[in-house]
């Protein structure tokens, strides 16, 4: 499990979001990318996740260049800064969706247990607290036990207790995966 970013720059017109960024990460471990709002953290994750191509430089996962047509989706889990959830989708349905996408038998129950939400399965996701929702998103994104897990500001807008609980979840994930999260 490795990530290599070599000489990566990203420009949007006259704005330089990233300028000659180079690093290598191997896991399992937890890595935090820290910076103020607008520093390019989400842009960097977008490049590593194959959602955009850098203006310059290259990004590799598991020793291979990141290419949308050959992205190692089965080895990756992603929690976006703003997760999209359809109106009225229940906690159980959300967990089942990701279990189905990754073809994980018993994945619904595994996700609900990991998120500590087994008793909330019939509740609409939009009725969850911020901390509950983040635990669900993390559990669903990692239901297939990915080798690398990306999280974009998973603790923003959470109270201290929920930040602590998310930290515990991520430390457990980092025992067996490379966990990369951004925060300000």
For the sheet with 148-152, list strands across it. 29-34, 178-183, 148-152, 76-79
Contact 58, 122 (CB under 8 A): no
Per DSSP, the chain holds a count of helices (H) and strands (E) of 5, 8
Model confidence over 49-89: pLDDT tens digits? 999 999 999 999 999 999 888 889 899 999 998 888 888 89
Model confidence over 8-57: pLDDT tens digits? 999 999 999 999 999 999 999 999 999 998 899 999 999 999 999 999 99
Residues in the chain: 184
Contact 123, 91 (CB under 8 A): yes
Model confidence over 122-145: pLDDT tens digits? 999 999 998 999 999 999 999 999
């Amino acid at each position: 499990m490795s990530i290599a970013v070599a000489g990566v720059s990203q420009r949007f017109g006259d704005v330089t979001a990233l300028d000659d960024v180079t690093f290598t990460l191997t896991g399992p471990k937890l890595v935090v990318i820290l910076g103020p709002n607008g520093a390019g953290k989400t842009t960097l994750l977008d490049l590593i996740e194959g959602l955009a191509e850098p203006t310059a430089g290259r990004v590799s996962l598991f020793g291979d260049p990141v290419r949308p047509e050959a992205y190692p989706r089965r080895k990756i889990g992603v929690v976006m800064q703003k997760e999209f959830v359809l109106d009225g989708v229940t906690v159980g349905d959300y967990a089942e969706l990701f279990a189905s996408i990754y073809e994980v038998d018993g994945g619904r129950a595994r996700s609900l247990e990991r998120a500590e939400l087994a008793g909330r399965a019939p509740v609409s996701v939009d009725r969850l607290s911020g901390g509950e929702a983040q635990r669900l998103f993390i559990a669903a994104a990692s239901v297939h036990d990915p080798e690398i897990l990306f999280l974009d500001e998973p603790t923003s807008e959470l109270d201290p207790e929920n930040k602590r609980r998310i930290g515990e979840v991520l430390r457990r994930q980092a025992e067996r995966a490379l966990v990369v999260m951004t925060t300000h």
